[in-house]
Structure 1
Amino acid sequence: MNSNAPSPASARPPSLSQRVVDGLSERIASGALKPGDRVPTEPVLMQEFGVSRSVVREAVSRLQASGLLRTQQGVGSFVLAPQVRLPSLQQAAGAELKLQQKLAMLELRLSLEPEAAALAAQRRTPEQLRAMEQALDDFDTQHTTGEGTAEADFRFHELIAQATGNEYFSHVLRTLGNATMPRQAAARRTSTSTSATKAARFGESSPELRPGKEITAQEHWAVLEAIRRGDAAGARAAMFMHLNNSRERMKTASR
């Protein structure tokens, strides 16, 4: 036997956010946390798992995207009852997503999120505006320091969906979010991953898109400013431009 062969024990441990995701998922599956229950607060989770606030927020965001939690701004996160999800998207979890699939999902978001932004401009609360601004501040800070920006990106888009006051916008966005808003944690692949796996997996980061982060930030702020002004038409146009540009950047990066 080759003593140099890698063993399962040599694989890297789960990421910090994955530990939080696994811990909360296990409680939900076991019934320790039931539908409608509020999950522990950020400070409690930070102390329990020994992680930072940004790690907790990423974990909660991923659980939202999986349809396990919903977050009410200023109140907390709550366990959702099991829901029937779109089979084709549910099956994409953990499987390779081809470029055409990701582009198709962005196309669907193009038909959904501009209208969500328009409604948000008419219905958002001052608290929701502050939360959106905080998400963009976090995005800018994380990009500047070289950290992953996926959690802040997703949080901004979901806050807009929540500001519509229509829960179905949030539900569809959570279903699509992981596939088209790459997740930071999945970028930490194990050393046993094959180099042939070039297509991004569901929720995996896309390093080739990083050069466009400055432009993405500018587009995000344009959306927020229109929502802040209560300019529904402007918010709709800014969100459409942002998602359409994201689609074009994804196409360009794949060439």
Structure 2
Amino acid sequence: MTTRTQRLVDILTARIQEGVIRPGERLPTEGGLVETYGVSRTVVREAVARLKAAGLIETQHGRGSFVLARPSTTGFEPEPRDLRDVLDLLDLRMGVEAEAAGLAADRRTESALTGLHQALESFARAAAHPSTAVNADYQFHLRIALATGNRYFGDLLGSFGPSMIIMPRERLHPRRPDFATIVTEHENIYAAIERQDREAARAAVRVHLSNSRARLLAAQT
């Protein structure tokens, strides 16, 4: 049974998807949502929290909640069938995400940087929890895309979903000794974006995904 919170999430997601509320625009106030949809403030707060967790909005203290990305309606979902497909997906990611990191370094806001750091910390803490690590890794890469301020990057990575991390799973098992190395690669990406070094951010992503490719191939031998 769909809860009132989920119904409100679905309504707001649809309004963002249809362009009624565009990226960069503010959501209606909490009181406005209560009045418009006839729900409690608790429902509104829970719905906003879910939209924030999904990477669709960010909340700015004293200003309200703002749309970050428009959900994709086409749903490009990578479904690698074999090693060649996984490697091809990594190639695609390298091209897209290296450029996204460069733009994020140029354009990131303090709010976006905070969200990126939170995702990094979640990933680093997930050493004993593979599924948590996969989701945190995906959120880290998605937040880089959202930090570009260009909704198409967010749309593309949003349509990939965590499957872009889950498929080459051999390279992301947190109990492997190289998990600390993978965390360091993420830290290097974050550091370059934080100091707004465009070329270093691009390079850090290329290093990370090149190493991911190498780890995946090594796991096959």
TM superposition score normalised by structure 2: 0.69
Count of equivalent residues: 189
The amino acid that maps onto 1:222 is: N
Separation (CA, whole Å) in 2 of partners of 1:123 and 1:41: 33
The amino acid that maps onto 2:172 is: L
Q: Does 1:244 align with 2:210?
A: yes
1:96-245 aligned at under 5 Å gives the runs 97-143=81-127, 148-182=132-166, 206=169, 209-210=172-173, 211=176, 212-245=178-211
What is the CA distance between 1:181 and its match in structure 2? 1.0
Partner of 1:73: 58
More divergent stretch after superposition (169-178 vs 229-238): 169-178
Separation (CA, whole Å) in 2 of partners of 1:208 and 1:83: 30
What is the CA distance between 1:33 and its match in structure 2? 6.2
Separation (CA, whole Å) in 2 of partners of 1:208 and 1:111: 19
What is the CA distance between 1:85 and its match in structure 2? 3.7
- Check 1:104–1:177 CA distance in 2 against 1; reply closer, same or farther (3 A cut): farther
The amino acid that maps onto 2:87 is: L
What is the CA distance between 1:44 and its match in structure 2? 3.2
What is the CA distance between 1:143 and its match in structure 2? 1.7
Separation (CA, whole Å) in 2 of partners of 1:82 and 1:207: 28
Partner of 2:46: 44
Partner of 1:84: 74
State the secondary structure of the residue aligned to 1:181: helix
- Check 1:36–1:245 CA distance in 2 against 1; reply closer, same or farther (3 A cut): same
- Check 1:140–1:112 CA distance in 2 against 1; reply closer, same or farther (3 A cut): same
State the secondary structure of the residue aligned to 1:84: coil
Q: Which ranges of 4 or more aligned residues in structure 1 deviate by more than 3 Å?
A: 31-34, 37-45, 76-82, 144-147
CA contact (8 A) 2:56 2:71 kept: no
Q: CA RMSD in A?
A: 3.8
Identity of aligned residues (%): 29
